[in-house]
Copies of this chain bind each other. A is one copy, B any other.
Amino acid sequence: MRLDLWTWKEVEKYLVNCKGIILPIGSTEQHGPTGAIGTDAMTAEAVAREVGIRTGVLVTPTQPYGMAEHHLGFPGTMSLRSSTLQKLIHDLLISLVMHGFQRIFIINGHGGNIASIKAAFSEVYNTASSRHLPVAKSLRFKLANWFMSPEVFRQARALYGEREGQHATPSEIALTLHLEPSLLAKQSELPDPAPAGPIYTYKDFRQRYPDGRMGSDPFLAKAEDGEMFLDKAASALSNDLIDFLKET
C-alpha cells in the first residue's frame, strides 16, 4: 500500500472505493548521543506502513523533515520553520484533495510537529473553501501521534518507568533497533540524563539537556520491545483510522 510504488492508474482505481490516505511525517533531529537522527521519520514510516497493511489504506511517502527548531543546537538536526512546515502540509493536502481524497490521516513521529500540523489543517480548510473545491465541505483531516497512543504510552511506562523520559525515549529507540539492527552497535550505557523539563530556545535546550536527552535512558531499549511498540501503535492507529473512515 505504498503510493511511491504505485502508478497513477492504480491510484485512480483505488479512489473509486476509498477516499482515505495515510501521510507519515517525522523529523531529522538529534536523539541523544546514541540515538539515530532519523528516529522520528523511521518510526512514523514503519507505523504508517503497518497501519496501511492492516487497513488496506494507501500510504504516501514519509516527509522526513519537520519542525525541530529547538534541536538546532546539536549538529545534524535539520529543521523546517513552523511556517514552512505548515505550507508544506498545506500543499500536500491540497494535492490529495484535488484528486478526490477526503479523509487524510497523518501519522506523526515528532511532538514538535503537532502545532504546525494542526495550524495547517485550518489553512487547508480555508483554501479548499475559498477555491470552491467540490469536496470542500466533506474534507476531514486527522492527526495521529503514534507515540501518544494510550497503549504505547502505558507499555513504555510499564517497561521503563520514569526513565522513558520525553526525548530520545527508550520506546522510540527500541523501535529503531527493531527496524535497523545496525543501530544496536551505537547503544551504550549513559550517565544519568538531565531531568525532563520545558522547551524554549535551542540554546537554552542545549544547556538544559547537554547530551540531547530529556530524562530518558535509551540504553534500556531492546529491539523486541520495539517490535511490540510497532504492533501496539499499529493496532491502536488502525482502529482510529477505521473509525475515521467510517465516520459519517
Question: Do A65 and B69 form a contact, CB below 8 Å, given A6-B36, A76-B6, A119-B115?
Answer: no
Number of interface residues of A (CB under 8 A): 91
- A residues 23-72 with Cβ under 8 Å of B? 28, 30-38, 41-42, 60-65, 67, 69-70, 72
A116 part of interface (Cβ distance < 8 Å): yes
Tell me the complex Cα distance, A75–B5, Å: 14
In the complex, chain B residues whose CB is within 8 Å of the CB of A202:
125, 129
Nearest CB in chain B: distance from A234 CB, A: 21
The answer on a CB contact under 8 Å between B79 and A91 is yes
Which residue of B7, B141, B203 contacts A200 across the interface (Cβ within 8 Å)? Answer: B141
Measured in the bound complex, the distance between the Cα atoms of B128 and A36 in whole Å is: 28
Asked whether A82 lies within 8 Å of B122 as measured between CB atoms, the reply is yes
A240 smallest CB distance to B (angstroms): 12
Within 8 A of B (CB), among A178-205: 180, 182-183, 186, 198, 200-204
**Distance A100 CA – B94 CA, assembled complex (angstroms):** 27
Interface residue ranges, A against B (CB under 8 Å): 2-12, 15, 28, 30-38, 41-42, 60-65, 67, 69-70, 72, 74-84, 86-88, 90-92, 95-96, 98-100, 112, 114-116, 118-120, 122-123, 125-126, 128-132, 136-142, 180, 182-183, 186, 198, 200-204, 212, 247
Interface pairs (20), CB distance under 8 Å: A4-B64, A5-B38, A6-B36, A7-B30, A7-B36, A63-B65, A67-B122, A69-B122, A77-B99, A78-B96, A79-B95, A80-B87, A80-B88, A80-B91, A84-B87, A86-B119, A115-B116, A115-B122, A129-B201, A131-B132
